Amino acid sequence: MVYFKAWLMRICYVLLFFNTIKAIRVLGQDVTVITGNDAQLYCQVIETDEHLTSIRWQRQTKEKPSNTDFLVITSGGKQEYINGLRDEVKFTANFTQMNGSILLSNVTVLDEGIYTCIFSVFPSGPCKTEVRLTVQVPPVVSVSADVPAVSGDTDVILATCTAADAKPAAEVLWSLGVLTVLVKVQNTVTVDSEERYTVKSSLVGIATIYINQKKVQCVVTHPGLKEKLELSYTLNVHYPPQVAYINSAGIQGQTCEFQCEADANPKPTNFTWSSGDKSRLIIQLTPGSNNLFQCVVSNQYGNAVGSLYVHITPPTESKTCWTLYIITLIAGVCCFLIWKFNVPQHFREIFQSSSSDPVPTGYPGQEEA
C-alpha cells in the first residue's frame, strides 16, 4: 500500500513536471511612456522547444478600435510591415530566441492602446498576450492674468495658473505665503477628445493695494515631469492715484520748481497744475507768487489732487537768510517743506509762512473718479 502511494506521487510529480515544460507561455509587460519618447514593447515565448513559425503584432487604438495587424515577422527574422507603421516600428529582438519585442519610436497619444503579440508555434498553434501602452503628455504650464485686477471691494480673479493638454491631468497647487488667508483657489478641469486635460487654477480675492506686487508660486506636478514645476508670479493690482505728493525739483536762481507725484498703478501719465496746463510748476521767489497751487494726477482709474500753498511776507531785519515756507496739503495732511538759502546782503528779506489754514475746510485732498 505504502509503495503504491509513493509510486502514485512520483507519477504526479512527473506529470506536473511534464505539464510545466509543455505549457507555452507568452510574457508581456505593460509600458508607460512620455509622448515623443520610444516605447519598448516586450513580448517573449518561454518554456517551449516547439518550432516558431511567425510573430504577429496587432494593436487597437482609440482611432482604430478593432485589432489591426501592423507587423509580421517570419522565420529567419523576415519582417513585413502592414498599415503604414514602418517608420515608427522596429523589430529589435532575436527571432530564434523566440523574443518578439519591438521598439515603437516617437510615441504620440494616438499610439496609446492595446498591443497583441501572437506567436505561431508548431504544433501547438498560436498563443498570444496583450501589452497595454499608456502615453503620458506633460502639461504646458503658464501663469497669467487675462485682465489686470482693478482695486475694489468685490472678489476678482487675481491670477490663473494653467496646466494645459496633459495626460493624465496635472496637479496644480499654489504656494501663497502671507496671502493664504486673503485669497481663495478655484479650479476648473476640461478634457479634449484625445483625453488631454487642462487644469485652470485661479486665485480669487479682493484686489487691494496691499496684495499688489506680492509674489505667489504655482506648483505643478505630473508623472510626465521629472520634477515639479514652480512658476513664480507677481500679482498686479491696478489702482487710481492714492495721494498726490508735491516735491521740490530744485531752486534755480530766483525761481523754484515743483513736481507732483503719486502712488498709482499703472504710473500716472497725466499731471496738471492749476496755474496753466503744465506738468511742472515754476514759481518766482517773490511775494507776487503768493497763491494756492493745485496739481491733479491721474491714470485711467481716477485721480488725486495735491495742494501747495506759498506765502511770502515782507522782510524784517532779524534774519540772515531767506526762508521760504511752503505748505503742501495732501489729503488733509500738512507737510512743511522748508528751504533755506543764502542770498546777497541787500536782498535780505524774510518770507514767512501763513499761520492760517489757507484751504477751505472740507477740501477734498483726494478724489477718485
Ligand X SMILES: *[C@@H]1O[C@H](CO)[C@@H](O)[C@H](O)[C@H]1NC(C)=O
Q: How far is the CB of 272 from ligand X (least distance, A)?
A: 5
**Which C-beta is closer to ligand X: that of 93 or that of 330?**
93
Q: How far is the CB of 108 from ligand X (least distance, A)?
A: 6
**Which C-beta is closer to ligand X: that of 64 or that of 228?**
64
Contacts of 180 (CB under 8 A, 6+ apart): none
**Which C-beta is closer to ligand X: that of 171 or that of 263?**
263
Of 279, 315, 296, the closest CA to residue 368 belongs to: 296
Q: How far is the CB of 36 from ligand X (least distance, A)?
A: 6
Q: How far is the CB of 310 from ligand X (least distance, A)?
A: 22
**Which C-beta is closer to ligand X: that of 101 or that of 366?**
101
Task: Give residue for cell 483726494.
Answer: 366
279 is a site residue for ligand X (CB under 6 A): no
Size of the site for ligand X (CB under 6 A): 15
**Which C-beta is closer to ligand X: that of 97 or that of 213?**
97
**Rounded to whole angstroms, what are the CA distances from 219 to 136, 162, 173?**
19, 11, 5
Task: Give residue for cell 510529480.
Answer: 13
Q: How far is the CB of 180 from ligand X (least distance, A)?
A: 39
The DSSP line for 171-237 is: EEEEE-GGGTTTEEEEEEEEE-TT--EEEEEEEEEE--GGGTT-EEEEEEE-TTSSS-EEEEEE--E
**Is the distance from CB of 334 to CB of 305 less than 8 angstroms?**
no
75 is a site residue for ligand X (CB under 6 A): no
Q: How far is the CB of 195 from ligand X (least distance, A)?
A: 17
**Which C-beta is closer to ligand X: that of 76 or that of 314?**
76
User: What span, in angstroms and rounded, lies between the C-alpha atoms of 353 and 287?
Assistant: 11
User: What span, in angstroms and rounded, lies between the C-alpha atoms of 177 and 181?
Assistant: 9
Q: How far is the CB of 282 from ligand X (least distance, A)?
A: 19
Q: How far is the CB of 296 from ligand X (least distance, A)?
A: 5
298 is a site residue for ligand X (CB under 6 A): yes
270 is a site residue for ligand X (CB under 6 A): yes
**Is the distance from CB of 214 to CB of 236 less than 8 angstroms?**
no
- Using CB under 6 A, which of 71, 296, 327, 330 touches ligand X? 296
**Which C-beta is closer to ligand X: that of 97 or that of 175?**
97
Going residue by residue from 14 to 53, which x/- string records binding to ligand X, judged by CB under 6 A? ----------------------x-------x---------
**Which C-beta is closer to ligand X: that of 36 or that of 250?**
36
User: What span, in angstroms and rounded, lies between the C-alpha atoms of 296 and 303?
Assistant: 7
The DSSP line for 275-334 is: SSS-SSEEEESSGGG-EEEEEEEEETTEEEEEEEEE------SS-SSEEEEEEEEETTEE
Which residues, 83 to 122, sit near ligand X by CB under 6 A? 92-94, 96-97, 99, 101, 106, 108
Of 349, 309, 355, 352, the closest CA to residue 329 belongs to: 309
- Using CB under 6 A, which of 54, 74, 248, 272 touches ligand X? 272
User: What span, in angstroms and rounded, lies between the C-alpha atoms of 182 and 176?
Assistant: 9
Q: How far is the CB of 101 from ligand X (least distance, A)?
A: 4
**Which C-beta is closer to ligand X: that of 281 or that of 296?**
296
Of 282, 308, 281, the closest CA to residue 294 belongs to: 308
Give the residues lining the site for ligand X (CB under 6 A). 36, 44, 92-94, 96-97, 99, 101, 106, 108, 270, 272, 296, 298
